[in-house]
Structure 1
Amino acid sequence: MKKNDEFYVSYIDRSLGPKTKTTLKRFSIIALATIVIGALLFSFFQKPFKNSTFELTSATNITGTYYEKPYPMLRVEVAENTFKNILLLGFGKSSANPYLEKLQKEVKDLNGKNVSIEGNLIYYNGKTLIQITDDEKVILESSSKKRLPEKEVISKMTLTGEIIDPKCYFGVMKPGKGKIHRSCAVRCVSGGIPPVLATTDKNNISEYFLITDLNGKPINKDILEYIGKPSEITGIVEKMEDWSIIKIQVSDIRELDKKSSIY
């Protein structure tokens, strides 16, 4: 060891030598700068969160006309002659059906009846969904039937987009990108969550279509392999107030050779 070398022993002399102090200061400055620059670069390359909302910690009570064609929904009047159709979901990766069974056994046909539901709202891009966590919070308010939403047939169309599970996409997952989230979407749709086709046009305007079979019935397990894969889908498009529906035959789905922009 050279005579000018500093040797620091804390229990003998608590004061640092000038060289040691200088070295520690340089290290601290470099380390701090590295952390700050790394954090800035990390945030710069991250995909921004969507402005979607999932009210996990608060429950909301909504009342409206129940119907289940093609999937369980509640038609709520938000202003005079203006309606919002709220898609009903169950807790976790379940459809709303298990939470409706108790009331359906009592009433037999719930379609057109006034029903109140308490649950957790999910909303994004003009679409609203509600997660039901307790079948005791699904209550018949009136046995008199009300008008159901009318469906207008638009035309046979070929749309380009990706099949998603609306629960995670519209609010539960942010940003929900990657193969893990695609696998999650597959399990959600497999569990009964209604599948939705998400499309985006050249002006970056998104549209969403509930997917059914050609007879307008729910379709889930037959389309699992296409979830999160850019595809062209041909089917009959119908408009139902604030939702659109596409009736398809699975054989008419054509996968495109490009990466997913969602998963």
Structure 2
Amino acid sequence: MKNDEFYIGYVDEVGSKTKKSLKKFVIASLLILAGGAFLFGFFQKSAVNSAFDFGNPTKLSGIYHESPYPMLRVSLSGSEFKDLVLLGFGKFGPNAYLKDLREKEGNLNGKHLNIEGQLIYYNGKTLLEIDDSQKVSIGNRRSSINFSPNSLGQLKIEGEIIDPKCYFGVMKPGFGKIHRSCASLCISGGVPPVLVSSDENGIEDYFLLTDLKGNPIHKDILPYIGQPSIISGVADEIGDWKVMRVDVGQIEKLDKKSLIY
């Protein structure tokens, strides 16, 4: 018992053996913490250059069109423009926020709208989240913009179906198994499904998906979200978005691991 160290903190000094034990514990803890932080960072994917202007709304004016999903065509300069895919707050599309204006004005296609929302942008694509129907109004301008599609013909593409809201910037990173169920909720709630494909250089291309008649598609596409697949269909280019009409029953799932989910 003579070699045992026992002390009272407010009376005695810490014994030499206790000091050594504490030093070893602190050093080991710091090494484990540093090593864990390094490994955690090492296995993380690089952050993408996406952005979500949460809490920083932007007022935009443009021509509304459904091709077939709600979009706002905003003039940039001269003859240049950008088509913004419209979204609702949370895991929903924008229709609930356009309902009052549709009841008042009728068909909104081709009409000038003023919308205040939060921008989401990534890799040249831009989306606009609306969170209040009072922030959508009819503008005074008239437009003769041509919305005629440019046919890309029959295409056969290997890729994965994602929801653009999370993938393009709301969730950073918008990948991993947990995001597959999140994507399913978003698409079933009205967010348009998007096919992501990439070439040998890792350059991505994006296609809004519709049914064979060119109508919006949501619940029927859910079993294929985040599944590497070969998807065939007739594609058009409308503004700066590509749209593909697909037969869901003909989607071919591949025996590959998802690169996204």
Q: TM-score, normalised by structure 1?
A: 0.95
Q: State the partner residue of 2:8.
A: 9
CA distance, structure 1, for counterparts of residue 140 and residue 91 of structure 2: 30
Aligned residue runs from structure 1 range 213-224, under 5 A: 213-224=211-222
Are 1:157 and 2:133 counterparts?
no
Alignment match of 1:115 (pick from 105, 113, 116): 113
Aligned CA distance change for structure 1 residues 73 and 84 (closer, same or farther; 3 Å): same
Mapped partners of 2:83, 2:141: distance in 1: 20
Structure 2 unmatched runs, 5+: none
User: CA-to-partner distance for each residue in 1:200-254, whole Å, 9 max, x for gaps?
Assistant: 1111110000001122111111111101100000001111221111111112200
Who is 1:227 aligned against? 225
In 1, are the aligned partners of 2:67 and 2:238 still within 8 Å (CA)? no
1:112 and 1:148 in contact (8 A); partners too: no
8 Å CA contact 1:88, 1:132 repeated in 2: yes
Alignment partner of 1:238: what SS?
strand
**Equivalent AA in structure 2 for residue 4 of structure 1:** N
Amino-acid identity (%): 53
Report the secondary structure of 1:211's partner residue: strand
Q: Give the gaps of 5 or more residues in structure 1.
A: none
Counterpart pick for 1:126 among 112, 124, 127: 124
Contact 1:65 1:148 in 2 (8 A): no
Cα RMSD of the aligned pairs, angstroms, is 1.3
Tell me if structure 1 keeps the 8 A contact 2:120–2:169.
yes
Greater than 6 Å deviation, 4+ residue runs: none
Counterpart in the other structure of 1:51: 49
Answer with 174-183 or 36-45: which moved more: 174-183
User: Counterpart of 2:139 in 1: which secondary structure?
Assistant: strand
Distance in 2, matches of 1:258 and 1:103, equals 45
Please, which moves more after superposition, 88-97 or 139-148? 139-148
Residue 242 of structure 2 corresponds to residue 248 of structure 1: no
The counterpart of 2:197, out of the listed 193, 196, 199, is 199
Equivalent AA in structure 1 for residue 53 of structure 2: E
Give the whole-Å Cα distance in 1 for the aligned partners of 2:197 and 2:72. 24
